[in-house]
Amino acid sequence: MFKTIAIVAGLGLALSATAEAQTPRKGGTIRMTAPYGSSFTSLDIHTTQRAQDEIYAKALHRSLYIWNSAEGKPVLELAKEDVVSGGGLVHTFKLRDDAYFHSGRKMTADDVIWSYNRIMDGSKAYPGARYVRVIEGAAAVEKGQAKEISGLKKIDDFTIEMKLTEKVDPGFYFFTALTSIYPADEAAKESFIQKPIGLGPFKFVEHVPGSRIVLERWDRFYKPGKPYADKIVVSVMGEAAARDVAFRNKEIDTSVLGPAQYVAYQSDADLKGTIVEVAEVFTRYMGMNPNFKPFADKRVRQAINYAIDTDLIINKLVKGKAYRATSWLPLTSPAYDKGMKPYPFDPAKAKQLLSEAGYASGFEFEWTTSQNESWGLPIVTAIIPMLDKVGIKAKVKQVETAVLAEVVRTGDYQAFIYSQASGPDPQAALKCFHSSTPQPACNYTTFKNADFDKILDEAGQADDMAKRIQLLQKANALLYEEAPVWFFNYNKAVMAVQPWLKGIQLNATELTHQNVEDLWVDETSPAK
């Protein structure tokens, strides 16, 4: 149902194709990098929503579903079958009976129920609660009104029944590591956080905080013949320049590239072939507060979209490491409408709209931003003169990224620039603009539009997928027209991959999150 439009560049595609054509080699070590900070947050993956932590968690843990990059959708992982009944609200999962935790114990329905109940412990605010909340009775557990999720029932050791509150595809809710299944007996122990136990293809060996995590092959992994590699080392490497040296020195097998390195690698004959890229499901935008008078007028919001030369910024500042946004849903979304065109750069049109809205002489606003190089201060600084030309003055308010996250949730801004997940589920992504979605959840611009709500509600009830996609595209087009944000770009994730590492998947949800059991290294790898 969900067809992915993967954007693959040059040899990135060739790499994958070559990998498929060869017979995977057993053994060797895969050396991945965690590029988003100087540490892993925690070895308890239920507690952390950072992309950094899911890199190792993909090797160590497993969830009910897994993201299939080739198909562009979540597929069953710990269950073999999902029978839907009750008008699309009840899912009966037949669990795998061959999944063993790294302690040697077989996974059962009790572990699934225990894990989801744990995630809903409201006093701990586990980030995965946002997904498990879709199960009936989960919110009551979160609020301390119940001890167990009423919508989860154990039928037998390998069958569970899950009753949902809405008619959604549970795959989108239960594929990330935030909803990993833990061993009920082991995970309750304090030692679990030091030596985690999972169901993944690799078991925990060592964590050197601030430096690396080492994992080795789990021989009882349920996929026959997998994983291929003996060992995985995930090194924490927050500095792009250090990663660059290590990659060129063949000390690491993967490296995430920033805009500057993207340009350098493209122009280097030896490195060009190592580039793999994909349009990730993140939309970068400037959010406008409708409680600030000028932004309450649609024409002003549209004028801002016309006044900014977005292509110029993407090409010059972001170095082409992004795709121009045409509305909210990104290129890799199944509901992306290829026919949509972005707002053209048209300052005259912007001035006309401002004049019609009663702001012929412009106005001034405060723009809250972080320092982020791809969607922060450098971008804002470049835009200010463009807005100035149509009479709009922007004052910069610079804050730390952690503070910006709080600012957008509380609405303490006139405008902000941000990067927000806009997939993989288009229904969930657009729901962030539904009037019933609270601002702290993800409706950061407190968007309210009765027509939009109606279309989205209809889409949620549609059983026919084609009809659903059509409605979602309509909702997405309405967002474009209403312009609650300046539509900037969709992130282009770029990774350099050594030629000996095969099986890299173009994961649009986060390129660094690899199903590592499918990766393998050939005999040219310098790692033992």
Please name the residues in contact with 162: beta carbons below 8 A apart, sequence gap of 6 or more. Answer: 90, 91, 92, 93, 135, 151, 152, 170
Exposure letters 118-150 (e unless 16+ CB within 10 A, then b): bbbeeeeebbbbbbbbbbbbbbbbbeeeeeebe
CA distance 32 to 522: 15
526 touches another protein (CB under 8 A) = no
Q: Residue 293 CB, nearest distance to another protein (Å)?
A: 25
Nearest distance, CB of residue 211 and another protein, angstroms: 4
Q: Under rule CB under 8 A, which residues in 15-54 are in contact with another protein? A: 37-39, 41-44, 47-49
Q: Among 42, 78, 300, which Cα is nearest to 170's?
A: 78
Q: Is the CB of 14 or the CB of 245 nearer to another protein? A: 245
What tokens were used for 425?
């589920």
Residue 322 CB, shortest distance to another protein, in Å, is 23
Binding letters toward another protein, positions 79-118, x by CB under 8 A: ----------------------------------------
- Residue written as token pair 């012929």: 360
Q: Which residues sit opposite 486 in a β-bridge? A: 286
Nearest distance from C-beta of residue 43 to another protein, angstroms: 8
Distance of CA 107 to the CA centre of its chain: 27
Between 252 and 331, name the residue whose CB sits nearer to another protein. 252
Candidates 59-67, 151-159, 394-402, 518-526; binding stretch for another protein (CB under 8 A): 394-402
From candidates 137, 238, 342, 499, binder to another protein by CB under 8 A: 238
282 within 8 A of 330, measured Cβ to Cβ: yes
Among 3, 26, 80, 143, binds another protein (CB under 8 A): 143
Other residues' Cβ atoms within 10 Å of the Cβ of residue 23: 7
Q: What is the token pair recorded at 219?
A: 């021989």
DSSP of 369-405, one letter per residue?
E---TTTSHHHHHHHHHHHHTTTEEEEEEE--HHHHH
Q: Please give the biggest Cα pair distance in the chain.
A: 72
Per CB under 8 A, does 409 bind another protein? yes
Q: Is 315 in the site for another protein (CB under 8 A)?
A: no
* Residue 135 sits in the site that holds another protein (CB under 8 A): no
Question: Which of 17, 20, 81, 144 touches another protein by CB under 8 A?
Answer: 144
Asked if 245 interacts with another protein (CB under 8 A), we say yes
Burial of residue 168 (CB within 10 Å: 0-12, 13-18, 19+) is middle
Site string for another protein, 320-339 (x = CB under 8 A): --------------------
Q: Which of residues 177-216 bind another protein (CB under 8 A)?
A: 193, 208-212
440 binding another protein? (CB under 8 A): yes
Least Å distance, CB 57 to another protein, is: 14
Binding site for another protein (CB under 8 A): 37-39, 41-44, 47-49, 122-127, 129-130, 142-144, 193, 208-212, 235-239, 241-242, 245-246, 248-249, 251, 399-403, 405-407, 409, 438, 440-442
